[in-house]
């Protein structure tokens, strides 16, 4: 049965397309475009899931939401490809970064986005929010100083999960060449053939 991905442009669902390309899985994309003024998902997504958010994946008779949960399901379904390393420390890091991407790193990025939209009203809060994000970026830079990928020496689903917040940080969160390990990691993952194939399938992606 072909996997169906309900894909919203410039969203977290790009990571699911990427994983499926890495796995060589057949999939069908149902596209949705953000409202150009509000940048919100269209109402049509609510017909797929009441929250009206992406990604939503239909696979094996299930309708799944939450990028990390979808990643875990697809990795397990593929026999553990791009899953946790065999060593205990690597396995802990894999699971940690799989959930850290959304649970810890995205909140300050979203706050920064809201502050930016407030214009002059948001300006006083920006240094505080930027400082929170900088703490994350500094820690991640130190993590990649000792290994090429987040879970260990090999590329994994943890790196795919981390791609969106780090790409967003590069676009609007102050990530630049002053953190060379993060920039080098970003260049490596974006050069992967499956990443490029997912971009062609998903359409315009502002963070590539």
99 shares its domain with 33? no
Helices (H), the chain: 13-23, 67-77, 88-100, 106-117, 126-143, 157-172, 180-190, 193-202
93 shares its domain with 138? yes
Q: How many CB atoms lie within 10 A of CB 138?
A: 12
pLDDT at 166 > cutoff 80: yes
Which residues lie below 8 Å from residue 41, measured CB to CB, with a gap of 6+?
8, 11, 32, 34, 35, 52, 53, 54
Q: What is the pLDDT of residue 78?
A: 97
74 shares its domain with 96? no
Q: What is the pLDDT of residue 41?
A: 84
User: Does residue 208 belong to any structural domain of this protein?
Assistant: no
Q: Percent of the chain having pLDDT more than 90?
A: 82
Q: What is the pLDDT of residues 60-112, one digit of tens each?
A: 999 999 999 999 999 999 999 999 999 999 999 999 999 999 999 999 999 99
pLDDT at 208 > cutoff 80: no
- Spell out the long-range contacts of 189-195 with Cβ–Cβ below 8 A and sequence spacing 24 or more: 189/155, 189/159, 189/160, 189/163, 192/22, 192/155, 194/18, 194/21, 194/22, 195/18, 195/21
Which residues lie below 8 Å from residue 42, measured CB to CB, with a gap of 6+?
32, 33, 34, 35
pTM value is 0.94
CATH of the domain at 116: 1.20.1050.10
23 shares its domain with 43? yes
111 shares its domain with 32? no
75 shares its domain with 93? no
112 shares its domain with 159? yes
77 shares its domain with 92? no
First-residue to last-residue Cα distance in the chain: 30
Residue 35's pLDDT band, with cuts at 50, 70 and 90, is confident
Q: Which value, in Å, is the radius of gyration of the alpha carbons in the chain?
A: 17
Domain count, the chain: 2
Q: What is the mean pLDDT of the chain?
A: 95
68 shares its domain with 93? no
Residue ranges making up the domain that contains 11? 3-81+194-202
Q: What is the pLDDT of residue 129?
A: 96
User: Does residue 180 belong to any structural domain of this protein?
Assistant: yes
User: Does residue 141 belong to any structural domain of this protein?
Assistant: yes
198 shares its domain with 184? no
């Amino acid at each position: 049965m072909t996997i169906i991905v309900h894909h919203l442009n410039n969203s977290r669902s790009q990571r699911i397309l990427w994983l499926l390309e890495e796995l060589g899985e057949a999939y069908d994309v149902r596209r949705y475009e953000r409202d150009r003024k509000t940048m919100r998902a269209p109402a049509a997504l609510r017909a797929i899931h009441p929250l009206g958010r992406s990604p939503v994946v239909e696979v094996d008779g299930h309708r799944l939401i939450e990028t990390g949960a979808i990643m875990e399901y697809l990795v397990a379904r593929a026999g553990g490809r791009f899953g946790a390393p065999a060593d205990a420390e690597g396995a802990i890091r894999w699971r940690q970064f799989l959930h850290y991407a959304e649970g810890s790193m995205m909140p300050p990025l979203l706050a920064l986005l809201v502050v930016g939209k407030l214009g002059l009203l948001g300006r006083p809060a920006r240094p505080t929010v930027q400082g929170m994000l900088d703490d994350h970026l500094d820690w991640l830079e130190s993590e990649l100083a000792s290994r090429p990928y987040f879970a260990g020496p090999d590329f994994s689903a943890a790196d795919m999960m981390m791609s969106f917040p780090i790409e967003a940080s590069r676009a609007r969160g102050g990530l630049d060449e002053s953190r060379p390990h993060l920039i080098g990691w970003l260049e490596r993952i974006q050069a992967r053939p499956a990443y490029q194939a997912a971009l062609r399938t998903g359409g315009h992606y502002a963070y590539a």
